[in-house]
Structure 1
Amino acid sequence: MTVTGQDTNAGRALRGLEDGRASVRLRAALELGAAPDPRHVDRLVERSAIEPEFFVRDMLTWALTRHPVALTLPALLREVRSRRAQARSQALHTLSKIGDRQAWPAITRTLLTDTDDEVARSAWRAAVVLVPEGEEPALAEVLATQLGRGRRETQLSLSRALVALGEAITGVLLTATTDPDPRVSAHALATQRLLRDPDAGFTFAIEEAKRVVALGGTGEEGR
């Protein structure tokens, strides 16, 4: 069998994915994406599950998007069921970038409510990209169960996902503004504000919502 220069380069790049230097791994992922090869899909997916550096993971995702969906989709759908949180998170992130709605059935309630914040956030982002027309209200109902969860970054991710669903979230947010848990009601109020004014800063919106909740209001008086 004749070994071509391309095969030699690919072999070097595959070895580079295991290098201890993040810059080498980044370059390797770039090379594998620049010259897509079906034989490399599994290695890219496997590396995504354990790669510690954000920028390298993002390049691995880009490399996977350069390959045929028929090859990447099955591998990624297996990963969303992994016991490893990073494997699930990265697979969901990559599915959101690919944007093929064949993946929608894999976005389960279990993933949308995953106990790992990174997995849940990735699931929220993937869900709003992949949700079929007409399924938005049902998705909004599930996402609303996560209101009040986590720290600012997690809450902002959820608010952005909800806002991306548009008017489908109006009812569930209104209900959540009267939730007895002040974290839930404040988060719902802040999300309402972002829905009305997407340019509003989330930090300002959440602090204003907390004040409203503390005063016993819903933020709807006088509107």
Structure 2
Amino acid sequence: MLIGDVARRSGVSARMLRHYDSLGLVRPTGRSDAGYREYSSEDIRRIFHIESLRSLGLSLRDVRRAFDDPDFTPSELVDDLIRRTRERIAAETELLTRLRRIGAAEPAGWEDVLQIVALLQALGSKSAGKRQRAALSSVEEVPVPVEALVEAALSETDPNVAGALRWALAQSGEDGLALLAEGLGSPAAEVRERAVRSIAEIPNGGATALLRDALTNSDVAVRGHAALALGARGVADAVPTLVDMVVEGTNDVDAADALSALASRPASADQIAARLVDSLAHGAVEPSARRRLTQALAGIPGTTASRALTDLSHDEDRAVALTAAYILGIREA
């Protein structure tokens, strides 16, 4: 079969067939009566084999080695192809993400596109200073898509940059809440904590609802951050978690301050005092926890807290008794 016929039937151009010939991959083994080279059925079979291997991503150099090297190991080559394909997919996925983010920012012109690209690159910089400036600029200049801000906030390790990113997200309103909610379910504890801290700085009802949900999160750190944020917002649902934090000694001072803020209304004060007293009466509570609970009563106004402190001033634990007596002296002064 002459080269033109082979090209038509195989779908491989005559130019590429000549290139295969020059590389020694497929050389026509026959001759026509007129002296033209002819491809045998074996030659055509080899062409299809070459095309099959090329469809897997092999270079012509790899194909030739596969055919001619007696020590060639297909499994090693396939493993290498898998690695290279994954790298290529990762690169293409990164490019797709970047393009989507640029599109989401709805740039008005090429100047906006260039500014967005520069900010996205700065957010991924190794320099903490550049990342921080990019976070601040994302609000003051061309807006960076909230998806990029959330991704940066959930991966940021520098506290100053993290603070700037949380501030930038707070300016975006509810746009990033859905993505931050996904962060609360991350298998990485540090990501979960960054997510709840970012949500805590967004001042709207959607964020408050997410923080309420976070009170039942399996991660104690997430529950704690959510409770402190809700306490600052005056949400009574946080009280049980805040009391648990006092008992456990986890950010207990902040938790006690949050309970004090929530106890500004008389009805709330009595309920919070009653919960603290119930915890004090629990037989399994450690002596150190009882002292922290007694100290927490100092910030709770009302008769329930005062009666509890009077009783505690006669407690068998001298440290608890002295603490209660000291608090009563301040309250009565």
Q: Under TM normalisation by the shorter chain, which class is it?
A: 0.7 to 0.9
After TM superposition, give the deviation of residue 60 of structure 1 in Å: 0.3
Does residue 1:170 correspond to 2:276, yes or no?
no
| Aligned counterpart, 2:15 | none
| Aligned counterpart, 2:150 | 45
1:70-118 deviation line (CA, Å, top 9, x unaligned): x12222222222222232222222222212223344333333x623x4x
Aligned residue runs from structure 1 range 11-50, under 5 A:
11-35=117-141, 37=143, 40-50=145-155
Does residue 1:88 correspond to 2:187, yes or no?
no
Q: TM-score, normalised to structure 1's length?
A: 0.74
| Aligned counterpart, 1:141 | 240
**Equivalent residues of 2:128, 2:161 under 8 A apart:** yes
Q: Distance in 2 between matches of 1:220 and 1:2?
A: 66
Cα RMSD over matched residues?
3.0
Aligned residue runs from structure 1 range 169-188, under 5 A:
169-179=272-282, 180-188=285-293
Q: Distance in 2 between matches of 1:25 and 1:188?
A: 42
Q: Distance in 2 between matches of 1:63 and 1:32?
A: 7
Cα 1:175–1:80 change in 2 (3 A) is same
Q: TM-score, normalised to structure 2's length?
A: 0.52
| Aligned counterpart, 1:5 | 111
| Aligned counterpart, 1:79 | 183
Q: Distance in 1 between matches of 2:316 and 2:132?
A: 47
Q: Distance in 1 between matches of 2:181 and 2:142?
A: 20
Q: Distance in 1 between matches of 2:239 and 2:294?
A: 15
**Equivalent residues of 1:89, 1:123 under 8 A apart:** no
5+ long unaligned stretches in structure 2: 1-106, 264-268, 302-312, 329-333
Cα 1:12–1:142 change in 2 (3 A) is same
**Equivalent residues of 2:249, 2:289 under 8 A apart:** no
| Aligned counterpart, 1:124 | 227
After TM superposition, give the deviation of residue 32 of structure 1 in Å: 1.0
**Equivalent residues of 1:92, 1:122 under 8 A apart:** yes
Cα 1:83–1:36 change in 2 (3 A) is farther
Give the partner amino acid of 1:149.
E
| Aligned counterpart, 1:161 | 258
Give the partner amino acid of 2:169.
L
Higher Cα radius of gyration:
2
Give the partner amino acid of 1:29.
A
After TM superposition, give the deviation of residue 215 of structure 1 in Å: 4.2
1:128-164 deviation line (CA, Å, top 9, x unaligned): 24565xxx1x43123322323246xx22222222222
3-12 vs 17-26, which moves further = 3-12
Q: Distance in 1 between matches of 2:275 and 2:319?
A: 22
Percent same amino acid among aligned pairs?
A: 20
Aligned residue runs from structure 1 range 46-65, under 5 A:
46-65=151-170
5+ long unaligned stretches in structure 1: 197-208
SS at match of 1:191: helix
